[in-house]
Amino acid sequence: MLVPALGTVLSVDTVNVMPRVDGRITKVYFKQGDEVTAGQKLFEIDPRPYQAALTQAQGQLARDQAALAEAKTDLARYQNLLAQNSIAKQTEQDQAQVVAQDMGTAELDQGNVAAAALNLSYCQIEAPVAGRTGALQIDLGNYVQAASSSQSTGVQPASGSATSGSGATSAGGGGVTPLVTITQMHPIFVSFSVPESDLGTIRENAAKGPLTVEAYSQAGKLIATGKLTLINNQVNSATGTVMLEATFANRREQLWPNQFVVVRLIEFMRQNALTVPSTAVMTGPSGPYVYVVGAGNKVSRVDVVVTATQDNVAVIGKGLQSGQKVVTAGQYRLDDGTVVSVPAQSATRSAPPAG
């Protein structure tokens, strides 16, 4: 049984890559539209100011560590003199305070060194996720600025999906403009909605195993096959529908983010089902019926039970046998015993589908 719907292709991760320090772009390591891997270098911001800041912080740390070592040596000497009653207790205590202050200064310097090293590392901008890059929003040589805490992190998650951002922002103009956007292409999601009346059957069949979902182009061509991976936890009260998501491997990138596709959710497969074209089934006062072509091309009316209809095919539960011929057009002119002409090329037999 198929459930048709209109779906939207969504990326698992769509990340806006932005700088975390100010500076001029000195290198671009990729071409727009390239596939990149997580951790791959994308841009370099001029590192020289940050290297100088790191060197300065390291020098300050070295100087204050030397002062701390000297203060500790003096404290040890004062402690020996105090043990010999050669100095006042206050002198030894004052020196202990000097050591504590110098230790705090050294720890502060270590923090400054770590911060300077971190800023230097931000000069190398790497891809936070694997995916395909979009159009470059900044050119080589342009000056970029880091985001403030109040600005956006630039992460655009797909529906029902968790993502991670690069934590940055962009250049000039006061707005937040990414350097480039990376969109994960595989795997990829397709989001679609079905009527809430189908929810029970879908959940029942999904409990038996992953349901197959097919994505078709607007022209009706099968693009890709995936698996149902999400049944949303609530019904949309405004539309009376339930949002579902299917995951597709998309290794050949047949599906593209934000593309519209026709989705068919295969709830279950009927094995050895007897089918006829849906045009063969008529409805009368007593229910559905068909005209069966018998000996001498005489037709007879046969009541049937239709258990399902999909894509112009009716599944017959009762009333027909495999191999019987049925009339698919002009039934309103027929009655029991009417002789019909059956061209060989258009004869239709009721039969179970292969597989």
- Residue ranges of domains in the chain: 2-8+186-266, 48-121, 274-346
Q: Which CATH architecture has domain 2-8+186-266?
A: Beta Barrel (2.40)
Q: What angle do CA 158, 164, 167 make, to 5 degrees?
A: 125
Which DSSP letter does residue 40 get? -
**Closest C-alpha among 14, 4, 12, 13 to residue 261:** 4
* The residue type at 215: A
Other beta carbons less than 10 A from residue 141's beta carbon: 9
pLDDT digits (tens, 9 = 90+) for 40-88: 999 999 999 999 999 999 999 999 999 999 999 999 999 999 999 999 9
pLDDT of residue 350: 56
pLDDT of residue 355: 37
This model's pTM is above 0.75: no
Q: Distance (Å, rounded) from C-alpha 302 to C-alpha 280?
A: 11
| 48-121: in CATH 2.60.40 | no
Domain 274-346: top CATH class: mainly beta
Residue reference for tokens 């999909």: 310
- For the chain, the maximum distance between any two Cα atoms, rounded to a whole number of angstroms, is 135
Q: Looking at beta carbons, which pairs linking 146-150 to residues 24 or more positions away fall under 8 Å? A: 146/18, 146/19, 146/20, 146/21, 146/22, 146/122, 147/18, 147/20, 147/176
**Closest C-alpha among 248, 266, 265 to residue 257:** 248
Residues of the chain with pLDDT under 50: 149-174, 347, 351, 353-355
The phi-psi region of residue 296 (left if phi > 0; otherwise alpha if psi is between -120 and 50; otherwise beta) is left
pLDDT of residue 150: 38
Instruction: Provide the β-strand partners of residue 274.
Output: 316
| Beta-carbon-side half-sphere exposure of residue 168 (alpha carbons within 13 Å) | 28
Q: Distance (Å, rounded) from C-alpha 170 to C-alpha 163?
A: 20
Give the Å distances, CA to CA, from 223 to 27, 192, 226, 255, 315.
Answer: 39, 16, 10, 7, 26
Q: Distance (Å, rounded) from C-alpha 8 to C-alpha 192?
A: 7
pLDDT of residue 348: 56
